[in-house]
Amino acid sequence: MPIATVNPTSGETLKTFDAFGPEEIERRVAAAADRFRHYRTTGFDERASLLNGAADLLEQDAPDIARTMTTEMGKPVAAARAEALKCVKAMRWYAQRAEDLLADEHPAEADVTDSGAAHARVHYRPLGVVLAVMPWNFPLWQVVRFAAPALMAGNVGLLKHASNVPQTALYLEDLFRRAGYPEGCFQTLLVGSGAIESVLRDPRVAAATLTGSEPAGRSVASIASDEVKKTVLELGGSDPYVVMPSADIERAARTAVTARVQNNGQSCIAAKRFIVHEDVYDTFAERFTAGMRDLTVGDPLDESTDVGPLSSEQGRADLEALVDDALERGATALCGGARPKEYERGWFYEPTVLAGVTDAMRIHREEAFGPVATLYRVGGPDEAVALANDTPFGLSSNVWTRDEEDVRRFVRDLEAGGVYFNGMTASHPALPFGGVKRSGYGRELSGHGIKEFCNVTTVWHGPEPDSGTS
C-alpha cells in the first residue's frame, strides 16, 4: 500500500511520500534508544511540562489538524475537531496524574516481615523504546492515548502509522518537537507494513502496542513473542447493544444511531449488533431505522454532514460484500443497503439497518466496519446474553435497562472489556480500555494503561545489622 493522502470524498490522490529506507530507520531507532537513556532519568515535573506544552499546541492547532484528518480519512470535520480536543484532555490528565499513578506502593509491614524484609515496596520504571502500530480511524486519538502515558512513564516512542494518514503522522512528530521534547523522544516512521518486523525484532525496541485488525495483531504478537517482548493489542469489535423492556426506548433508539455511525461507522467500539427484547422490538426498530434514515450523508468538510465516506475503496467493497451476502441469504434492509445514488465519486455508503440476520450470514460473525447495523429480536435476558456473546470479539458492550437484576446479570455474564449501561461506549482517560477474546489483551488509558509499559519492580530492604560494640 503506498504511503499517500487519498481523499476518500473524491478518490483523488493529493500527496505521496517516499518510505524511509534502512539508513533512516536505523538513524531513528538509534536516536530513540540513545534518548531513552537520558529521558528515563527526568522527573515527573519536567515530563508534565513537556506534555502540557504539547496539549496547548494541539488545542491551538485543532481546527487545522481536524481538516487534515478529514481530508485523509473522511470523518466529519466536527468529529475531527472533537477528537483533537479529546487528545488535549488526555494529555493534561496524564500530565497532572502520572506521578500519583506511578507512585511507589508499600505493602503492609505485617505482610512482608516473613520475607525477611525490614520494608519493601513496588516501584515502576519505564521499559524503553515502545513501537506503536496505529490505525487510520482515529488518527490522533489512537496515538495520543498511547503516547501520553508512555512518555509520562519515561518511555520513548516510535510511531508506525497507517499508510493513508501520513500527514497526520508527521504532524504528531512535529507537535512533540515543537513542544520541546528532545530529539528521539517521539518519532514517526514512514514505512510500509513490511518494515514492522525488523523494527520490532531490533533489540533496542523493548515493547509494542498495536490497534488494528486481527491479522495485524496476530503478526505483531507472534513476532514479539518470538523476541520475548511485551505487547498490548486492541483489535476488532462487534459490540452488542442490548435493549430490555424497562429501557427508555426513545433515548435508547436515539443514542443507538450515534453509537452505530460514529466515525462513519468505522470504530471498533461502535455498537454493531442491536439485540432487542421482543416486548419493545417493534417500537425500537421503527425509531432506530427512522433515525438512521434521517442522517445527512455528504462532504465531511461540511459542518452539517453526519456521515462521510468510508476511508477507502476497499473498505467500502468489504462492507458491501457483507451486506450483499446477508441480503442474498434472506435478511431485510429496513433502510439503506446500497451506495447513495447522488455520489458518483468517493467511497460513500448509505446508513443501513438489516433485520432477520441469522448465523448463516457472514455479517453475524464478521465485523462490519461502516454505517451498517444488524437488528435481532430476543425473548429474554438468557437469549440476549447468549447472542451478545456469540461472537469471536469481546471489546465492549452496551445495555439499556432500569432493572437492577438485569444490571447484575449482564455485568456477570457479558464477555467484554466494558459494560456501558444506558449510554454508548466511549473511551475516557480515567477508565481502562481494552477487550477479551479476539479483541486483544492488555489495557490502555487510566492507571492500568500507564503501567502496561513499566517494569514493575520489587524493591526489598533487609534488616539493618546489629550495631553492638565489640
- What is the predicted pLDDT for the residue at 468? 53
pLDDT tens-digit readout, 341-350: 999 899 999 9
Helix axes 281-293, 249-261, angle to 10 degrees: 40
Strands 398-400, 239-243: pairing is parallel
- What is the predicted pLDDT for the residue at 470? 44
- Which of 87, 185, 268, 335 does the annotation list as catalytic? 268
- What is the predicted pLDDT for the residue at 33? 98
- Which of 234, 367, 444, 452 does the annotation list as catalytic? 234
Separation of alpha carbons 194 and 215, rounded Å: 14
- Which residue stretches of the chain have pLDDT < 70? 466-470
| 234: annotated active-site residue | yes
Q: How far is CA 267 from CA 136, 425, 457, in A?
A: 10, 11, 36
Question: Cβ-count burial of 177 within 10 angstroms (0-12 exposed, 13-18 middle, 19+ buried)?
Answer: middle
| Identity of the amino acid at 336 | G
pLDDT tens-digit readout, 279-310: 999 999 999 999 999 999 999 999 999 999 99
pLDDT tens-digit readout, 32-67: 999 999 999 999 999 999 999 999 999 999 999 999
